């Protein structure tokens, strides 16, 4: 028996459990299970892992992507640079446990974004500067795209939504929403950007995937922009986790 799971709090709904349960069934993988482990205090991860020798890997979601790093033995370069972990490989050997952290969000985002980039897409606006934006910045650095963060409150190396101009939108033709605005059930919400300056040269990417087409994407699409939601990113990061757990 090999057990995998997701830690976070709360865990009312989990894409990961559905994804891996269906994967095990479709591929005829016997002796595997994927469980939800809602832990409010990240320190509980120690006793969780110690109590189950079958536990072979964990995905990590909010609010523990940063806090869990203090309990790991090793980080892969991407997780180290980003400063956040969403996948843990667990090895049990000779009575000892070794925990290595990865960031598969970056992989998922990069592989889902890359096919949509055109020659004019050299500058990107990142809407929001929370945890999700860390992986986005890492990927944009890898792809050599210049980026600018847009935030609600004054912050270093960022501008306010109210400071966006036509000139900025003309230069920054990739717009990435890393905020939860527009997520079900609050589907009418959208980042407060000047949509009137979006054109058919723009690419709008929303990390939100429920609903499939957020208000942000609808407004950008109405201006002729190419659009992409975060569902493929979610699938790709999950597949990457499976690859890590089964080298």
Catalytic residues: 65
Tokens for 195, please give them. 């949509």
User: Nearest-CA neighbor of 206 among 197, 196, 184?
Assistant: 184
Give the whole-angstrom CA distance, residue 150 versus residue 193: 9
Measured CA distances, 1 to 23, 29, 30 (Å) = 16, 11, 8
Measured CA distances, 245 to 59, 87, 140, 185, 238 (Å) = 11, 9, 26, 34, 11
Q: Give the DSSP letter string of 135-175.
A: HHHHHHHHTT-EEEEEESS--TTEEEGGG--HHHHHH--EE
């Amino acid at each position: 028996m090999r057990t995998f799971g997701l830690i976070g709090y709360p865990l009312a709904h989990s894409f990961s459990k559905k994804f891996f349960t269906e994967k095990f069934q479709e591929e005829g993988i016997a002796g595997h299970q994927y469980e939800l482990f809602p832990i409010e205090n990240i320190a509980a991860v120690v006793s969780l892992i110690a109590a189950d020798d079958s536990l072979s890997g964990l995905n990590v979601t909010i609010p523990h992507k940063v806090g869990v790093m203090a309990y790991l033995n090793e980080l892969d370069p991407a997780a180290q640079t980003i400063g956040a972990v969403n996948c843990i490989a667990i090895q049990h050997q000779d009575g000892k446990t070794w925990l290595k952290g990865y960031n598969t969000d970056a992989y998922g985002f990069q592989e889902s974004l890359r096919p949509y980039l055109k020659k004019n897409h050299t500058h990107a606006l990142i809407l929001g500067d929370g945890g999700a934006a860390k992986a986005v910045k890492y990927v944009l650095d890898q792809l050599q795209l210049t980026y600018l963060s847009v935030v609600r409150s004054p912050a270093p190396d960022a501008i306010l939504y109210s400071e966006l101009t036509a000139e900025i939108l003309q230069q920054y033709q990739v717009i990435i929403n890393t905020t939860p605005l527009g997520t079900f059930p609050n589907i009418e919400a959208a980042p407060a950007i000047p949509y009137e300056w979006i054109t058919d040269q723009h690419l709008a990417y929303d990390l939100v995937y429920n609903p499939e087409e957020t208000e942000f994407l609808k407004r950008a699409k109405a201006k002729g922009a190419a659009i992409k939601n975060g569902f493929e990113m979610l699938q790709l990061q999950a597949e990457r986790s499976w690859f890590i757990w089964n080298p």
